[in-house]
Chain A
Amino acid sequence: MKVLLDVRDLSVELVTKTGLVTIIEGVDFQVHEGEIFGIAGESGSGKTMTVLAMLGLLPRGARVSGEATFNGINLVGLGSRGLRQIRGRDIAMVFQDPMTSLHPMLTIEQQMTDHLRFHQNVGRSVARKRAIELLNEVRIPDAEGALKAFPHHFSGGMRQRIAIAVALACRPRVLIADEPTTALDVTVQAGILRLLNDLRTRTGLAVIMITHDLGVMSLIADSLSVFYAGRVIESGPTSDVLTRPRHPYTRGLLDALPHPTGAQDAPLVPLSGTPPSPSARPSGCAFHPRCSFAVMSCRASLPVLEQIGDRRLACPIDPFREAM
């Protein structure tokens, strides 16, 4: 399948009161046409920062290096004028909370047609027709009526479907969904996941799915990268990584989850310690202070993300190798 987005050695530094802080370091991944690619990790691991860096949406003063190639164009260093042509048209984004990502004072029609008219230079009536099509596509009942309504008229699940419709207006090639179902109930979540899955099979849309919910990942992502402290520590086909994790961190995340068929009376197994703050990342492997397999070399040298078959792993110890 065709590679739509090729990210290589992406790093981000932010200016803070205490100086430059590295948020993202050497992130690599590829997203193919029609693929749902997952970015997993705890809060603060750099999941959202990675996609914001690609789209040039970081706060002023942030320094981005590396490459993010979309359609032969490197998005890093493209400048705001160039990015404006791509954002919203070729690469669109859906955020976690549809209550804040939709404008509360604008009708759905205004929010759906503005960027359509900007990017595709079409008239009001054409844009309106397209908006109705889109609302039908995301199964909003009475699309014509919905255009006149405001976001607060809809339930959370409907609002998120509208936010997806807004993002899809210009027929983007890549949709970035940042925790799109985290604020929603499981039954509503199922509807959103079905919608995304349906879109990629029908239209070849590539989806970057950012979520800390490994259950959601298992349902929908073809492949995933696990982030820890601003780096990818493990990646590969989703079912493979989540049923046979090799990095102690991925393993720890999975062990902390309640198991639906497991012994109810056994306590859950949390990871020890807490994730490091970006300004005080440990030397060597950033996970070593929390890792029960850590040896001297983990403290000293940064592990390389090595290719092993169709997977990648940043752990030279590889404690679960035998279980493969």
Chain B
Amino acid sequence: MTTAERGLRLDEVHVEFSRRGRAPVRAVAGVNLRVEPGQIVGLVGETGCGKSTLARVAVGLIRPTSGAVWLEGARLNPLGHGVRSRQDARLQIVFQNPFSSLNPRRKVGEQIADGPTILDRASKRSARDRVLQILEEVGIPKSAADRFPHEFSGGQRQRIAIARVLAASPSIVVLDEPLSSLDASAQAQVANLLVRLSRDLNVGLLLISHDLAIVHHVADVVAVMYLGQIVEAAPTKQLWSVPLHPYAEALIQAVPRAGGPRVLPDVVAGEVPDPAYPPPGCRFHPRCPYAFERCRTEWPALLEVSKGRSVACWLQTPGDAGASPSMKATSHRADVADG
């Protein structure tokens, strides 16, 4: 890879957790993903699909069983006991719960100052200036620097957690469910902040969330994950207007809307299978309303069907104009009957 490569790239990442006396769990089974600077990539999927494992692999908290993570063209070293290189520290993570991710005994300013003082060996004075500047960027009053985390609300704390990450001047930030512990109004503030960061500071964001409405609002590109694999990746608007994978279709139609019609969404049949024993063929086939013979035996690869849009489904073929799974299924059944 050339050094001109920018952003974050996950290359055929597999993660397997071995369990004594039992079959290993393949939490992530072959994921390719890119996050460019200034881009917001949303990663959605149900609990247990491997989203959080992927987030941890992406920042090096978990060593992938195979595959690699590349940051700006250099291979990212999984976190060890040694000091992380300045280069690798340009990749940062924000966790779900700002009540546990901030140190309750240290002042907000000190925690943010860790970035400039440790990573950039900044003097006390210049670190302080940087802290005040960052607090302003995330919309927290400067007086916060001398206060403790417990003095702030959940939404403010999450913005402080983001401020701490920004202090490392990251090029990519991975956010693991950063909004799910917040009320609607605080969510809106943090969501706006994320958009501003990517646009103004040219930071690339990998936003992991099960809240599809928020992802829809902020993400440029969305990847849908099911049982350790990405089943569809597409520009957000295209994905929402015509989802190509049956699972993506089910997810998107299940999002309730305040003040929307009172129609309960359809329920996807069955339960998420045990990742230690994934079904043969397409991993979604036991729950898929459109599954046919091939889906039960052959595994569909994630293929690009149109520019920037890929899907792993036997109903979709490359170069074909995108049509929803239900339309595709109808024509597929007609083809089978004819031929």
Q: Which residues of A contact B (CB under 8 A)?
A: 42-43, 155-158, 184-191, 193-194, 197, 212-220, 238-239, 242-243, 252-254, 256-260, 264, 267-271, 274
Contacts and interface: CB of A to CB of B under 8 A. Distances in A.
Given A212-B184, A256-B184, A258-B214, A186 B255 contact: yes
A270 B188 contact: yes
Interface residues of B, number: 46
Contact of A270 (B186, B212, B218): B186
Nearest to A277: B153
B288 interface: no
B257 interface: yes
B257 A260 contact: yes
Interface string B184-206: 11111101100100000000000
A114 B215 CA distance: 43
B302 interface: no
A22 B254 CA distance: 39
15 contacts: A42-B185, A186-B256, A190-B267, A239-B262, A243-B259, A252-B185, A256-B188, A258-B188, A258-B213, A258-B216, A259-B217, A267-B195, A268-B187, A271-B185, A274-B156
B192 A212 contact: no
A191 B250 CA distance: 12
A257 to B, nearest CB: 6
Contacts, number: 126
Contact of B271 (A155, A267, A274): A155
A191 B267 contact: yes
Contacts of B210: 185-186
Given A194-B264, A260-B213, A187 B251 contact: yes
Given A186-B254, A218-B256, 18 more contacts: A155-B271, A189-B256, A190-B266, A190-B268, A215-B213, A215-B257, A217-B258, A219-B256, A219-B263, A256-B185, A258-B191, A258-B214, A258-B217, A260-B240, A264-B216, A268-B189, A270-B192, A274-B153
Nearest to A183: B47
**10 closest A-B pairs (Cβ-Cβ)?**
A215-B256, A258-B217, A214-B258, A268-B188, A270-B188, A242-B259, A256-B188, A186-B254, A271-B185, A185-B46
Interface string B272-301: 100000000000000000000000000000
Contact of A190 (B218, B254, B272): B254
Contact of A218 (B46, B240, B254, B259): B259
B335 interface: no
B265 interface: yes
Contact of B264 (A42, A219, A264): A219
B229 to A, nearest CB: 17
A253 B47 contact: no
Contacts of A216: 256
